[in-house]
Amino acid sequence: MKRKFFILTLLALTLASCAPAPSVAAITPPYIDTGIDPESWALIHAGSFPYGQHDHITDVDYDYEMMVTTVTNEQYARFLNEALAAGAIRVGEVEVEAGEQVWAEIGAYGFYPGDPYDGYKHEEEIKPGDKLFFPTEADGVRITFDGQTFRAIQEYSNHPATMVTWFGANAYCEYYDWRLPSEIEWEKAARGTELVNGRGLPFPWGTHIERNNANYYSSFDLFVKMFGKLGNTTPVGFYNGNTYTLEDGNYTTLDSASPYGIYDMAGNVWQWTGDDYPKQHYRHMRGGSFYSYEVDLRVWKFNSAGPQHYSPQVGFRCAR
């Protein structure tokens, strides 16, 4: 009897915990205005800063600007429409090559001149040709295409533009005569030049992380409350010290801007950077995402993938 009770309790607990969970593609949050302008830029002055986990003092001998937020769905939809009208991109079936795999996808695509190839072991050749920028029919896209016009789903319009390949992110920045930031530029913008107890800042806002600092795995942010454990993206600039009032209560954020006033440099979405490293061609991403544990939100941590990769947890911002 005891054994049956134990097994039944265990089974009930298991089933209760595993009720069908919504996919990122299937949920729609309410529109939330954060008050942060995604069109704004922050100036980063020339000078040295502690780079990487071991704080190597590295000099950046020029001023540059970085977008205050990641590119939003609305901004990316605008780019796609402008570029389509200008003939810089096309929409349709395009061949995608990754490793030894080749497949076809429907989406927005355009020309990329390719990367220098060294023939190194495991090196993947990035050939010149048409490359996928944004898959229009994949699970999890927040920009729709009706055959003529791209539109951001209204509730997601100020969320980071996700599901964009590195080619697509690079094309966006280049279309406006900007560029993707290098890893060094990205990290300097994220942590600034300050040393605390001889170390550079591990997080854009300081030395420790609280759950209301950023959108990451198990941070129990607003969208985790709404949609379950894995959560979702938050609108850009969400963690700015505001208290958001919603139907089921308030949610207070901490102001988590970097020393240069740049938002979302930790959590929410991984961000493509511009460097092409020889003999591999993986593109690095920085910042961690809503799927990442807090350790991946430390400013020096990186992720990498081929430039054809797209994901609901990868976005980008530009530098100039």
Give contact residues for another protein (rule: CB under 8 A): 10, 14, 17-18, 20-25, 53-55, 98-101, 120-124, 138-140, 199, 202-203, 207-209, 218, 228-230, 279-280, 282, 285, 291-296, 298, 302-306, 309, 311-313
CB of 87 to another protein, least distance (A): 31
- Classify burial at 122, counting beta carbons within 10 Å of its beta carbon; exposed 0-12, middle 13-18, buried 19 or more: exposed
Closer by beta carbon to another protein, 101 or else 245: 101
Strand ranges inside 113-175, DSSP E: 129-135, 143-145, 150-152
Q: Of 34 and 271, which has the nearer Cβ to another protein?
A: 271
- Is beta strand 270-272 parallel, antiparallel or unpaired with respect to 314-315? parallel
CB of 84 to another protein, least distance (A): 24
Tokens 């006033």, residue? 261
Which is closer to another protein, CB of 151 or CB of 211?
Answer: 211
Closest approach, Cβ 245 to another protein, in A, equals 25
Q: Strand pairing partners for 283? A: 305
Cα 119 to Cα 280: distance, rounded to the nearest angstrom: 9
Quote the least distance from Cβ 117 to another protein, whole Å: 13
User: Which two tokens mark 117?
Assistant: 């190839």
Q: Of 78 and 298, which CB lies nearer to another protein in the complex structure?
A: 298
Taking the CB of residue 117, how many other CB atoms lie within 10 A of it? 14
Strands 270-272 and 249-252: unpaired
Q: Report the residue number, 45 or 56, with the smaller CB distance to another protein.
A: 56
> At its nearest, how many Å lie between another protein and the CB of residue 197?
9
Nearer residue to another protein within complex by CB, 72 or 313: 313
Nearest distance in Å: CB 193, another protein: 16
Per-residue burial over 125-160, b if 16 or more Cβ lie within 10 Å, else e, is: ebeeebbbbbbbebebbbbebeeeebbbbebbbbbb
Reported as type and span, the H/E element at residue 97 is strand 90-98
